[in-house]
Chains A and B, each alone.
Chain A
Amino acid sequence: MSNSGGDRLLEMRNIRIEGFADEKWNPIIRGVDLSLDRGEVLGLIGESGAGKSTLGKASMGYTQPGCRISGGTIVFDGIDLRELSSSRLQRIWGSRIAYVAQSAAASFNPAHKLIDQTVAAAVREGISSDSTARDDARKLYASLQLPEPGSIGERYPHQVSGGQLQRVMTAMALSPRPDLIIFDEPTTALDVTTQVEVLGAIRDIVENFNTAAIYITHDLAVVAQMADRIKVLRYGNEVEEADTREMLAEPKMDYTKSLWAVRTLRKEAKSSAKNVLDIENVDASYGGSAKVLHDVSIRLPLGRTVAIVGESGSGKSTAARVVTGLLPASNGRVLFNGDQLPPDIKNRSKEQLRRIQMIYQMADTAMNPRQTVGEIIGRPLEFYHGLKGKEKEAKVFELLESIELNEEFYDRLPGELSGGQKQRICISRALAAEPDVIICDEVTSALDQIVQEGILQLLMRQQRERGISYLFITHDIATVEAISDEIVVMLNGRVVEQGIKDEVLSPPHPEYTEKLLKSVPEMDPCWLDRVFQEKSIAV
């Protein structure tokens, strides 16, 4: 063993990683250094495409198929990982470095029981016997506060919830008692209320076992809770690195500052006496099975934004489908400017269809990949307004300008656009119909924070200029604070409350709203401690 520092565990020097695409090798990581001491947690943050996940996996000496490490050294506890044969490397992965993936639901093999997968590496590497490993796994399940820790391992992955799976995966990583764990966005796919539990569990474990960790995330507030040090990546380069508190208090680089700035976007809530849309006592179900909406009433004031928040499965998107008529309500009615809309989209007039438009979360799949931007935006112009030829073209240019894109985009295909640009095209397609109401279903969830800000600004500007009302579905409270006038909180297909933003966000809250708001991570590094302190007092 030739540790360079006293307790240096990992030392990566001048790492370069390339990915093969378009018939050539393209740089993904352009010479990044990374070092980690025993028991230390390093946060890796950056937007999608920054290379944080690639760098995280490279710290194990692993690259995805189609990628290669083209330069640099990776020394783990005195062992040069790049020099190891693949079978030696496999032994290290099984025993000393573990990986926790973003989507636990997809990362567990559906064909095997959880406990079998949990103990596989430890048993294979001879770290413990099968029965000891299983006993230990059950203890880990218990310490991660999984329900029925004695028997949950006998279940298959599809039989437990996403938050539970994420904790089982942490147990799986811990089973061989590794020196280093790579957490790759372990809570990104979870609801905020579940996220808090998982974050707490991960942090306790890392502290108790003195495990070093690399924590990869795009969520600043999360990394603030978890990491001792933070490294910011952009385009495969390091932007800066500092201790967490220092980084949060005074980021040095402009890029880091801009990451911080997004969370300060906030619009002043206004009320409006007249409602453009009233959802009244709506029940709905898919195919006659269990009801997913129970007596839902939501009002959308004219020219305002109503944010619908809630966890996955709370019925947010179903409510949107009822408004659009894609899913006719089984009970109740939807009023538009005081007139009842036919429940089924098939019975609505073209004019009724025009006035309610929709924008989706995945801009990718909401556009025909074979149509150019001009065709995509031109279609509603022709369909609703009968525009053709030059007239249509001129209008498309006008719309492109209003979404801050130039005429060059007219002939492009969706595949040639970035995520933010795609979402802008979807917005302009909705605007082309000149609607009164736009339903936005998680439109910023798939985007990076800086891009999110741009999209939100754009939506707000359109509202000021055109007086459009938004029904804005999201699970992200920061977005809600930024854009909404009123907030609707949903839980299990029911409306918990609806009110002006400031009233909903300030106490007193109904119990569930309280829990939801408490679970939203804050930038303060002590936030997580506080949450758990309050909990233990409450218990």
Chain B
Amino acid sequence: MAVVSTIIKRLLLGLLTLFVVSLIIFGSIQFLPGDFAEAVLGQAATTETVAAFRKELGLDQPSYIRYFDWIGSVMTGDFGTSFSGRAASGVDRSRSVAELIAPRLANTLFLAGMTAVVAVPLALILGITAALWRNSYYDRIVNASTLTTISFPEFFVAYILVLLLGTLWAVFPSLADVQQGMSFGERVYKTALPSLTLTLVIVAHLMRMTRAAIINLLASPYIEMAQLKGESPMRVILFHALPNAWAPIATVTAFNLAYLVVGVVVVEVVFVYPGIGQLMVDAVSSRDIPVVQACALIFAATYILLNLIADVIGIATNPRLLHPK
């Protein structure tokens, strides 16, 4: 089957991309100013202590060996051990990177999932209806309001929501400090405001692209043909335009979902939400290289995976690829 082989090809390409990205991540971390050993031990440390500490962390090895060590263990699922909490104070209190990241990643995925469940269907419905009643007042209102939310920086949207829904009418908590052991309902309640902020941001983008993708198709001769066969406007959109618009819509959706995972640091900071974005920022400032690398790799993998899924949807909804001559 042509489709299966295309998908397999895409998958392999995705893996290759991931490999190249891992090289870039590793390479760019070499350019981070300063050195972890010096950063931890302070300027008072003797050269011997610094050297010993570097040896313990493996920093004395040439970079290509360190790269292969790292990527080798990543492939076995081992992301290494965090630099912080190491034996400088005598006791080794360091934790494995996986242990650090897992709960944070889970939080981020929870927030992303919760947002996506609301935002994606909402955006599709708004986009489709706006295309259906294009140039009507409904269309203009939807367009203008989404343009407004997309125009403000997300931290601004976040603070406005805190002001309105957290302070003036205290419907939701302003702090989204979720903890382990909370019930599902409690979590949803806590993350309502950050989720709403993100929803406002991505619905705008998604809705506008959905509308554009459909309207773009409405000029096709087969749409006119459908109209001349007496198809109702709703059926023209849903049955004749939409099936041909899935590929561009999937691409935009993938882009936005990826953003929900990797690009929400600002929103996490505003709501003090313990997500993976904050973890990465902290790790960068404390030069915790294994954590930074692991986060970057997870982000890259998310991007690649989501785009891969969008590609597959594009292929699976293209009859030319699905039903070759």
Contact = CB atoms under 8 A, between A and B. Distances in A.
Chain A bound to chain B: yes
B231 A99 contact: no
Contact of A99 (B225, B240, B317): B225
Given A111-B317, A159-B325, A106 B220 contact: yes
B228 interface: yes
A62 interface: yes
Contacts of A87: 232
B3 to A, nearest CB: 14
A108 B222 contact: yes
Given A64-B224, A106-B221, A91 B230 contact: yes
Contacts of B230: 89-95, 121, 124-125
A62 B240 contact: no
Interface in A149-181: 155-156, 158-159, 172
A90 B231 contact: yes
B227 interface: yes
Interface string A30-45: 0000000000000000
A57 B311 CA distance: 39
Nearest to B324: A159
B243 interface: yes
Contacts of A91: 230
Given A103-B221, A106-B220, A106-B222, A158 B229 contact: no
A101 interface: yes
User: Could you say which interface size class chain A belongs to?
Assistant: 20 to 34
A158 B319 contact: yes
Among A57, A90, A98, A106, which residue has the most Cβ atoms of chain B within 10 A? A90
Interface string B188-230: 0000000000000000000000000000000011101111111
Contacts of B243: 109, 111-112
Contacts of B226: 109
Nearest to B226: A109
B319 A62 contact: no
Interface in A73-97: 87, 89-95
A101 B325 contact: no
B83 to A, nearest CB: 52
Given A106-B220, A111-B317, A112-B243, A94 B323 contact: no
B228 A62 contact: yes
Nearest to B320: A158
A459 to B, nearest CB: 33
Contact of B228 (A99, A110, A155, A159): A99
B286 interface: no
Interface string B221-255: 11011111111100000001001100000000000
Contact of A111 (B224, B232, B319, B325): B319
**Residue among B222, B226, B240, B244 having the largest count of chain A Cβ atoms under 10 Å:** B222
Contacts of B227: 62, 93
Interface in B92-128: none
Contact of B222 (A62, A95, A107): A107
A125 B235 CA distance: 14
Contacts of B323: 155-156, 158-159
A433 to B, nearest CB: 38
A93 B244 CA distance: 24
B244 A109 contact: yes
B231 A107 contact: no
A158 B244 CA distance: 14
Which residue of B224, B226, B230 has the most chain A CB atoms within 10 A of its CB atom? B230
Contact of A110 (B232, B319, B325): B319
A172 B222 CA distance: 13
A172 B228 CA distance: 12
A95 B229 CA distance: 8
A103 to B, nearest CB: 6
Contacts of B221: 101, 103, 106-107
A120 interface: yes
A120 B320 contact: no
Contacts of B317: 111
A349 B225 CA distance: 51
A90 B225 contact: no
A238 to B, nearest CB: 24
A123 B228 CA distance: 15
A94 B229 contact: yes
Contacts of A109: 222, 225-226, 240, 243-244
Nearest to A169: B225
A152 to B, nearest CB: 13
Contacts of B244: 109-111
Contacts of A93: 227-230
Nearest to A158: B320
Interface string B290-313: 000000000000000000000000
A487 interface: no
A358 interface: no
Contacts of A233: none
A527 B185 CA distance: 80
Contacts of A98: 228-229
A159 B324 CA distance: 7
B72 to A, nearest CB: 40
A122 to B, nearest CB: 10
Contact of A60 (B222, B225, B228): B228
Interface in B176-195: none
Contacts of A155: 323
Given A110-B244, A156-B323, A158-B325, A121 B222 contact: no
A193 B325 CA distance: 23
Interface in B18-44: none
Interface in B239-273: 240, 243-244
A120 B320 CA distance: 22
A93 B222 CA distance: 15
A62 B226 CA distance: 12
A87 B232 CA distance: 7
Given A156-B319, A156-B323, A158-B325, A108 B228 contact: no
A92 B230 CA distance: 7
B324 to A, nearest CB: 8
A92 B228 CA distance: 10
Contacts of B320: 110, 156, 158
B36 to A, nearest CB: 52
Contacts of A60: 228
Contacts of B232: 87, 90
Contacts of A121: 229-231
Contact of A120 (B220, B222, B231): B231
B116 to A, nearest CB: 26
Among B229, B244, B320: residue with most chain A CB under 10 A: B229
Contacts of A103: 221
A91 B222 CA distance: 18
Interface in A415-474: none
28 contacts: A60-B228, A64-B224, A89-B230, A90-B231, A91-B230, A93-B227, A94-B231, A99-B228, A99-B229, A101-B225, A106-B220, A106-B221, A107-B221, A107-B222, A107-B224, A108-B225, A110-B319, A111-B243, A111-B317, A112-B243, A124-B231, A125-B230, A155-B323, A156-B319, A156-B320, A156-B323, A158-B319, A158-B323
Given A87-B232, A107-B222, 6 more contacts: A64-B224, A90-B231, A90-B232, A109-B226, A110-B244, A159-B323
Q: Across chains A and B, which 7 residue pairs bring their CB atoms closest together, nearest first?
A: A94-B230, A93-B230, A111-B243, A90-B230, A106-B221, A99-B228, A107-B225
Interface of B: 220-222, 224-232, 240, 243-244, 317, 319-320, 323, 325
